[in-house]
Amino acid sequence: MASDNFVDYVKIHVKSGNGGGGSTHFRREKYIPKGGPDGGDGGRGGHVYLRGNKQLWTLLHLKFKKHVKADHGAHGSSNLKTGSQGKDVYIDVPLGTIVRDDESDEVLFEITDDGEERILQRGGRGGLGNNNFKSSTHQTPRHAQPGEPGIEGWKVLELKILADVGLVGFPNAGKSTLLSVVSAAKPEIGDYPFTTIRPNLGIVSYRDHRSFVMADIPGIIEGASQGKGLGYRFLRHIERNSLLLYMVPADADDIAEEYRILKSELKAYNSELLHKESILAITKSDMLDRELEDEIRVELDHRLSGINYLFISSVAQSGIVELKDEIWKLLQDD
């Protein structure tokens, strides 16, 4: 996925179609000069739908299409003919798209299945023709209902990527490098903060032709839960991952403290994230000799008792097989 083409937030204005008005026609034929009312009903206005499409990974196609409008329903006519229905409009979105009302910020629904269709804006109902208002005491009603107007408003679409494994770490923790080693993804890699500013997805091959999806998500910083750095843009993607792989480099000043900060940022944003299965990967471990690695193990066992951790090096490709084995095991137990 090219990073320049990844869009995970758009705001669009949608308007459903007006309903057609009912007809006030009366039957008039050569030998029936005073026939009764035969005005038909108006047609429904077009709905605006969202539809899940598993082939899409981004909201890019909506970035420059800010206004979406459905067709109006046609008016009713004589001989009890109902007006034609306004044409519905379908907006295809990636799986994992959440819809919010821009004014109230209320979450309306989310799209999670391929082909799933949800009405984003309902079209106006068609008005009733005068035939519906006749009675034994009022046989010539000269009124009909107008159609209901369509509904319009701004909606916010947010994409929370669907992945099995989400990579959690400070900038330069080695997330992009790991993804490039274990999958065919080609994320931008550099030795400066925020090389990754948009999520990258990679399919990781496993034994016996099995696979899982890994997401390299923009690096977290302390204060992200308050919107600092990439803030919420980073954290909302984490919510949809089945397993979290925390990544702390071996040359960090304090590995246990860096891990604690990562956990605290996730907890401040959404405490439920701490209930997800997780692994701590000590990256860039090719920089360590055996004695230093043993010292780190002793410290982690003391300060992070019960934490599942591994030492890996994407460059030297050490510990990668063991990491994939552990990830697969936890995904199957989930």
pLDDT (mean) for 237-247? 84
Nearest one of 225, 167, 224, 222 to 196, comparing CA atoms: 167
Tell me which architecture the domain covering 163-333 has in CATH.
3-Layer(aba) Sandwich (3.40)
pLDDT in tens, 156-195: 998 877 778 988 888 778 888 898 888 876 544 444 444 4
Domain boundaries, the chain: 1-159, 163-333
User: 3-state SS string over the chain?
Assistant: CCHHHCCCEEEEEEECCCCCCCCCCECCECCECCCCECCCCCCCCCCEEEEECCCCCCCHHHCCCCEEECCCCCCCECCCECCCCCCCEEEEECCCEEEEECCCCCEEEEECCCCCEEEEECCCCCCCCHHHHCCCCCCCCCCCCCCCCCCEEEEEEEECCCEEEEEECCCCCCHHHHHHHHECCCCCCCCCCCCCCCCEEEEEECHHHCEEEEEECCCCCCCHHHCCCCHHHHHHHHCCEEEEEEEEECCCCCHHHHHHHHHHHHHHHCHHHHHCEEEEEEECHHHCCHHHHHHHHHHHHHHCCCCCEEECECCCCECHHHHHHHHHHHHHHC
pLDDT in tens, 44-89: 999 999 999 988 878 889 988 889 999 999 999 999 999 999 999 9
Q: Please report where in the chains the tokens 């948009």 appear, as a residue.
A: 198
Do 1-159 and 163-333 share a fold? no
CA distance 260 to 266: 10
pLDDT in tens, 248-283: 999 999 999 999 998 988 888 788 888 889 999 999
CATH 2.70.210.12 correct for 1-159: yes
pTM above 0.75, yes or no: no
